[in-house]
Amino acid sequence: MTPPEAPRILVHSLLRCMGGTSAIARALHIAIPETLYSYECDDGLCQEGAEAVRPEDLGRYALDAGVELVHLHATLDWGGCLRGLAQAGLRVVVTLHDCRALTGGCPYPLQCTAWEEGCLSTCPRLYEASDQVAQERRTLLRELSAVLVAPSRWMASMARAVLPELNVHVIPNGVPWPQTLPPRQELRRAVGVAPGARMVLFVAHGGVEAAFKQGKHFLKVFEQIKARVPEAICYVVGGKRMERRGDVALWPYADTQTMARLMRAADVLAYPTLADNHPLVVLEAMSMALPVVAFATGGVPEQIAAPSAGVLVPAGQWTALSAEIIRLLEHPVQARRLGESARIWGTDRFRQERMVADYQKLYGRLCGT
């Protein structure tokens, strides 16, 4: 019997399971046998435990495990983590799920352009010593000769602008893509959607409190949608508790299976994000034939890059966003056709198997296999 191959790659994320970043990291670990998986926080608790690895200890942990390459997805302490990896002398791949590795702290600069020169000493968003933090992170990435991976061309262009000496690869995110979909009406009954209702789905970490996804403002917009489409209901997923507010149902964080049921039951996904890289929720909606109406920000236009893939409106134009949602709710046959065409369009582009294969090729080049 051939012994199993020793792990050669350590895949590391901040949270054990929760969130899109951990979903990508864990998918790579599960699909690629020669990988180990480590994390810093047991999901949202950020409590140290027997299996958690502190950021500053990641380099030593990797050396003790005998790996050749560390693939870093997220960390609570970019400076401490990168310093430890530099001291260990390991090869490092960093996937830029947001901008934190490039800035003085913010996940997305939004309208601020100071990050391009290394951030300000007095950050308008109150990140402490942001100029020093940004300089340290970029210096450490250079010292490591880190290979950077961006899920979107938008993020890749930002990385190349501030770290032109590093190699930057674009590998779009991927999600599981079911071959067949369960009956829609059956799942609508299972999640409590009444016959004849038109369901708008809003998903964001924090639910109505989500800042970048503008949860509170979207609830006000939904009131306008409801006035035009009386049978409209809204499910807001990603908060802290389950609650009902009239025709708005608040749900806590949902696991993959629950999210798939909600997406299959819904009529449209509303995604009014101020900034985003390559959000999994958009891809998951495509995979479940759920049409998406989104602001054209960050890497989202690369996901909805064809009229058959969804609906984009200019960022901040809430009237246009609500009008497109209303249009799809009032024309359910058209909405279903759009969802089905988006599912077809995304099949070869955003399947998890394609993403894993792209990372395997990169690992092979870096590890000499």
Note whether 268 and 342 are within 8 A (CB): no
Confidence label for 6 from pLDDT (cuts 50, 70 and 90): low
Nearest-CA neighbor of 69 among 92, 95, 94, 35?
92
User: 249 and 124, same structural domain?
Assistant: no
Cα distance between residue 95 and residue 72, in whole Å: 6
Note whether 20 and 82 are within 8 A (CB): no
Cα distance between residue 115 and residue 100, in whole Å: 11
Per DSSP, the residues of 83-148 read: HHHHHHT-EEEEE-SSSTTTSSS-S--TT--GGGGT--SS-TT--TTHHHHHHHHHHHHHHHTPEE
What's the distance, Cα to Cα, between the start and end of the chain in Å?
Answer: 23
User: 143 and 29, same structural domain?
Assistant: yes
User: 358 and 345, same structural domain?
Assistant: no
Residues of the domain holding 204: 184-350
Note whether 273 and 300 are within 8 A (CB): yes
pLDDT one-digit tens code per residue, 280-336: 999 999 999 999 999 999 999 999 999 999 999 999 999 999 999 999 999 999 999
Residue 122 lies in a domain: yes
User: 207 and 58, same structural domain?
Assistant: no
- Report whether pLDDT(46) > 60: no
Note whether 65 and 10 are within 8 A (CB): yes
pLDDT one-digit tens code per residue, 220-256: 999 999 999 999 999 999 888 888 989 999 999 888 8
Residue 179 lies in a domain: no
- Report whether pLDDT(192) > 80: yes
Cα distance between residue 367 and residue 254, in whole Å: 37
> What CATH number is attached to the domain comprising 197?
3.40.50.2000
CA 231 to each of CA 186, 220, 244: distance values in angstroms, whole numbers, following the listed order: 19, 17, 16
Q: What is the DSSP letter of 323?
A: H
pLDDT one-digit tens code per residue, 330-360: 999 999 999 999 999 999 999 999 999 999 9
Other residues' Cβ atoms within 10 Å of the Cβ of residue 187: 19
Give the lowest-confidence range in 15-19, 79-83, 344-348, 350-354: 15-19
User: 34 and 69, same structural domain?
Assistant: yes
User: 285 and 168, same structural domain?
Assistant: no
pLDDT one-digit tens code per residue, 131-174: 999 999 999 999 999 999 999 999 999 999 999 999 999 999 99
- Report whether pLDDT(4) > 50: no
Cα distance between residue 15 and residue 41, in whole Å: 5
User: 103 and 197, same structural domain?
Assistant: no
